[in-house]
């Protein structure tokens, strides 16, 4: 099968990993994601993955509970490591090799991330799951995935989430919101759209990394994006 991309960075929402649950990881959702990812790995695509941590902990919610912001963000980054280990385990169970890298050295939980080790893993047919965000507080995993996508020289950053693209307003709150098939980086700023943080959008803009926002919760969608089907929203 023809594929549109040879190397991608896939960003998965931590919150989506909850599936039907109120907190943590839904093993059915995890297995479903692993199946979709294996399907495109079998097409020969080199895959880097960054996962969020919102299903476990976010620094900003921590500060609302009285935690120091930096410690809260560090807890959030550790949450992304937990999700990454869970995804690597699910991929292994599906028969797909995967390696977990960490932004902060915590061997043997994962390998300390470097661009070259991640690229080497992908070239050997392993999925590089790059955890711990940027390794710094005051950032998000959207920015982490923009950073890693640029570093590993991905052709596109895929933001797999619960909504099927970018809308004129948050579609989970405003039912009259209208979807874009494509939108420029600048229009995201001008319209004040909140689908990604602005640091991530700026990094992608400055480094010419296109983004596709799509619904990862519909099985088969990841393969459709890889095959060049126009689902989701392209940011260019």
Ligand X SMILES: O=c1ccn([C@@H]2O[C@H](COP(=O)(O)O)[C@@H](O)[C@H]2O)c(=O)[nH]1
Ligand Y SMILES: Nc1ncnc2c1ncn2[C@@H]1O[C@H](COP(=O)(O)OP(=O)(O)OP(=O)(O)O)[C@@H](O)[C@H]1O
Query: Residue 9: exposed, middle, or buried by beta-carbon count in 10 A (0-12, 13-18, 19+)?
Result: buried
Binding letters toward ligand X, positions 138-177, x by CB under 6 A:
-xxxx-x---------------------------------
The option from ligand Y, ligand X, none interacting with 162 (CB < 5 to 8 A, set by class) reads ligand Y
Annotated ligand binding at 99? The verdict is: no
**Strand 156-161 and strand 98-102: pairing?**
unpaired
**Is 28 an interacting residue with respect to ligand Y (CB under 6 A)?**
no
Annotated ligand binding at 58? The verdict is: yes
Annotated ligand binding at 134? The verdict is: yes
Q: To the nearest whole angstrom, how small is the minimum distance from the Cβ of residue 205 to ligand X? A: 19
Nearer to ligand Y, 2 or 65 (CB): 65
Q: How far is CA 119 from CA 47, 113, 130, 144, 228, in A?
A: 9, 11, 11, 16, 23
Q: Is the peptide bond before 108 cis (omega within 30 degrees of 0)?
A: yes
The option from ligand X, ligand Y, none interacting with 195 (CB < 5 to 8 A, set by class) reads ligand Y
**Is 84 an interacting residue with respect to ligand X (CB under 6 A)?**
no
Report the alpha-carbon distance of residue 171 to residue 164 in Å, rounded: 9
**Is 171 an interacting residue with respect to ligand Y (CB under 6 A)?**
yes
Nearer to ligand X, 132 or 210 (CB): 132
The option from ligand Y, ligand X, none interacting with 139 (CB < 5 to 8 A, set by class) reads ligand X
Write the DSSP string, 80-123.
HHHHHHHHHHHHHHTT--EEEEESS--TTSSEEP-HHHHHHHHH
- Return the DSSP state at 15: G
Q: How many chain residues are in contact with ligand Y, going by CB under 6 A? A: 19
Of 28, 33, 32, the closest CA to residue 52 belongs to 33
The option from ligand X, ligand Y, none interacting with 134 (CB < 5 to 8 A, set by class) reads ligand X
Q: To the nearest whole angstrom, how small is the minimum distance from the Cβ of residue 9 to ligand X? A: 14
**Is 141 an interacting residue with respect to ligand Y (CB under 6 A)?**
yes
Query: Residue 37: exposed, middle, or buried by beta-carbon count in 10 A (0-12, 13-18, 19+)?
Result: buried
Task: Out of 53, 165, 171, 232, name the contact with ligand X by CB under 6 A.
Answer: 53
C-beta nearest to ligand Y: residue: 52
For residue 214, the number of C-alpha atoms closer than 13 Å in the C-beta half-sphere is: 22
Task: Out of 19, 24, 35, 137, name the contact with ligand X by CB under 6 A.
Answer: 137
Q: Are 119 and 152 in contact (CB under 8 A)?
A: yes
Decide: helix, strand or coil at residue 220.
Answer: coil
User: Contact positions toward ligand Y, by CB under 6 A?
Assistant: 13-15, 52, 54, 141-142, 161-163, 166-167, 169-172, 193-195
Q: Which residues are annotated as a binding site for UMP?
A: 53, 73, 134-141
């Amino acid at each position: 099968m023809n594929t549109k991309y040879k190397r991608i960075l896939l960003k998965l929402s931590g919150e989506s990993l909850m599936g039907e649950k109120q907190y943590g990881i839904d093993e059915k959702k995890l297995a479903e994601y692993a199946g979709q990812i294996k399907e495109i790995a079998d097409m020969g695509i080199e895959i880097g993955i960054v996962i969020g941590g919102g299903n476990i902990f976010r620094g900003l919610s921590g500060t609302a509970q009285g935690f120091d912001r930096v410690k809260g963000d560090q807890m959030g980054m550790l949450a992304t490591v937990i999700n990454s280990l869970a995804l690597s385990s699910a991929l292994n169970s599906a028969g797909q090799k995967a390696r977990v890298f960490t932004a902060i050295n915590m061997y043997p939980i994962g390998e300390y991330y470097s661009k070259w080790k991640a690229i080497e893993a992908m070239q050997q047919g392993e999925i590089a799951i790059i955890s711990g965000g940027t390794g710094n507080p005051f950032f998000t995993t959207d920015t982490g995935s923009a950073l890693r996508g640029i570093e590993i020289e991905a052709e596109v950053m895929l933001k797999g989430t619960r909504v099927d693209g970018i809308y004129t307003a948050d579609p989970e709150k405003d039912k009259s919101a209208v979807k874009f098939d494509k939108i420029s980086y600048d229009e995201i700023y001008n319209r004040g759209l909140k689908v990604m943080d602005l640091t991530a959008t700026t990094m992608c803009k400055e480094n010419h990394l296109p983004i596709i926002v799509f619904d990862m919760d519909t099985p088969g969608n990841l393969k459709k994006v890889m095959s060049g089907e126009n689902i989701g929203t392209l940011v260019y």
